[in-house]
Amino acid sequence: MFGFLFKKLQFWQLLNQRNSGKQNGNWQKSSQTSLSRDLKENLKVLKSILGTSNDIVIREFSFGYDEKINASIIFVDGLTDRMTINESIIKPLMYDTHLFDSRELLTTNNIDIIQKSMLSVGDVKIVTSLDDVIDGCLSGDTVLLINGSDQALVISSRGWESRGIQEPKTEAVVRGPREGFTETLRSNTSLLRRKIRNPDFILENMQLGQRTKTDICIAYLKGVVNPKLVEEVKYRLKKINTDAILESGYIEQFIEDAPFSPFATIANSEKPDVIAGKLLEGRVAILVDGTPMVLTVPMVFIESFQTSEDYYSRPFYTSILRTLRFISFFITILAPGVYVALTTFHQEFIPTPLLITMAAAREGTPFPAVVEAIVMGIVYEILREAGIRLPRPVGSAISIVGALVIGEAAVSAGLIGAPVVIVVALTAISSFVVPAQSDTAALGRVIITISAGALGAFGIIIILLAGLIHLCTLRSFGTPYFSPLAPLSFRDLKDVFIRLPIWAMFTRPRTIGWHDPQRQEFRQIPAPPQDSEKVEQPQGEPENNSNMKSQTGVQGLKRPRKIGNKDT
């Protein structure tokens, strides 16, 4: 008994030691946290920490008028720009320093002299700790160590290979910008800066992941965003304690308000114009190095039915398309359940000719309607997943041909009825209209179908009411998730089921941009004078002067009332 307990204690002690070493990191095993004045000692410590990786380059050299100053640069091959290192760091030090007296460089402020007078690089900072040296080196910068100095220079020289700016394939548009975010953080911030050329546009950097040290950037528009929202985002990010952050989805699962809810409370996009539009409404964006997906908080349910193209096109047809999105969402979650409920419990609601046709189609099928709907739904999900994971030329053929072959074969064999194939096909097509809610719709579709098979229409109503109550109780960083419908805000209904013209959307969403609600002025402009009214002409000029501007603008041309000013 005691031997068993002793072994258990040894196991837990070993496990705690491993966890503590995992959290602290290997480089903290050394008692030395600051740099030494001895260059060889610094290099010895750094080599023991960085290991023997062949991509770690350590270049030792001497410079100065009589080459009495020993130095070394450390960088990671593949993360740096070789041209910058050779032309802006090594060349000025090894050749241009011959013009300086080495005695001046050997003083205690030699680092300051080198930083200000010798390096032709834009971003150079002085560090004094080993942690800063290692972080700078592994981030793609070049570290300069000098013998006799307990300080080092971290020189910006990042230049790894990256994907060019392309059109995002997950958010294709007919009208609008074709550019999308890339996997490089600084390229993504520059795309946002091009959209918002305002000094109040703030970008704050931080690192997450004890092992990966992933660069994170928080973007917001000062004066528009609620300062408490920014503080809450920073607080939740700083509370993340994990080994790795490889994609923005890691952060989303750590900071979301309702981790067990099927509804996502954090939005994402890879289009700069979409993120810029949300920042201008008072949201906060979270950019992660290594992924083109950018997170925005807070999120409301209505965002899933809005696209960037809605605001670039005229409002009439856009409003019709938005209504179709809502209809498609209800079709994709309700169609199988309604079919099961009607064919199983409520045949009296089906017209007699259609009922006879459906009964003839299902004659001889061995399974009930609920089993047919669930099985065909599973088959559809399998085909969709296969089409996504396979190479693109093969994937499209598998998804289309597989659906046709399996559906036709199942109907011909008498395993399922033809109406089920039609319902599942309609459900699949409708799910593509609102991709942001495809995961939620798939889960809700299964639950509603099972409830309809057990209780009929009452089961569907119960699940819908439960889902509606859940939506009304959700919050995203303090913002009601179902706003502006719950709580109801008539002012914000101008961009929900329909979209009013841009000039009529003069306020930001009340629950998000309350800090600065005014987006633009909205006022009635006096009507231009009628033809019967006499327009006063400037004195000394003839009335028939064709170059003259009257109160109606250019002669014979009236300005639009909504974009004019007092001089309409």
Q: What is the mean pLDDT of residues 299-308?
A: 92
Question: Range with the lowest mean pLDDT among 23-37, 406-420, 459-473?
Answer: 23-37
The encoded tokens of residue 103 equal 């005695």
Are 221 and 281 contacting, i.e. CB atoms less than 8 angstroms apart? Answer: no
Residue 526 has pLDDT above 80, yes or no: no
CB count within 10 Å of CB 218 equals 17
259-302 pLDDT, tens digit per residue, is: 999 999 999 999 999 999 999 999 999 999 989 999 999 999 99
Characterise 456 by phi-psi region: left (phi > 0), alpha (psi -120 to 50), beta (else).
Answer: left
How far apart, in whole angstroms, are the C-alpha atoms of residue 387 and residue 382? 9
How far apart, in whole angstroms, are the C-alpha atoms of residue 385 and residue 34? 52
Q: What is the mean pLDDT of residues 6-32?
A: 45
Instruction: Provide the pLDDT for residue 541.
Output: 47
Q: What is the mean pLDDT of residues 369-396?
A: 81
Q: Give residues with Cβ within 8 angstroms of 546, minimum separation 6.
A: 555
175-205 pLDDT, tens digit per residue, is: 888 899 998 898 999 999 999 999 999 999 9
Residue 523 has pLDDT above 70, yes or no: no
How high is the mean pLDDT of the chain? 81
How far apart, in whole angstroms, are the C-alpha atoms of residue 409 and residue 388? 23
Q: What is the mean pLDDT of residues 138-153?
A: 88
Question: Range with the lowest mean pLDDT among 178-182, 400-404, 467-471, 561-565?
Answer: 561-565
The encoded tokens of residue 432 equal 């593509």
Question: Range with the lowest mean pLDDT among 69-73, 101-105, 120-124, 362-366?
Answer: 101-105
Phi/psi of residue 484, nearest 5 degrees: -90, 20
Instruction: Provide the pLDDT for residue 393.
Output: 67
Asked whether the bond before 393 is cis by omega within 30 degrees of 0, the reply is: no
Residue with tokens 């410079």: 63
Residue 209 has pLDDT above 80, yes or no: yes
Local confidence band at 20 (pLDDT 50, 70, 90 cut-offs):
very low
Instruction: Provide the pLDDT for residue 528.
Output: 57
Question: pTM for the full model?
Answer: 0.81
Q: By C-alpha distance, which of 163, 194, 162 is closest to 177?
A: 194
495 bridge partner residues: 499
Half-sphere exposure of 326 (CA within 13 A, CB side): 11
How far apart, in whole angstroms, are the C-alpha atoms of residue 125 and residue 152? 8
Instruction: Provide the pLDDT for residue 504.
Output: 85
Q: Looking at this protein, which amino acid is placed at residue 305? A: F
How far apart, in whole angstroms, are the C-alpha atoms of residue 234 and residue 204? 10
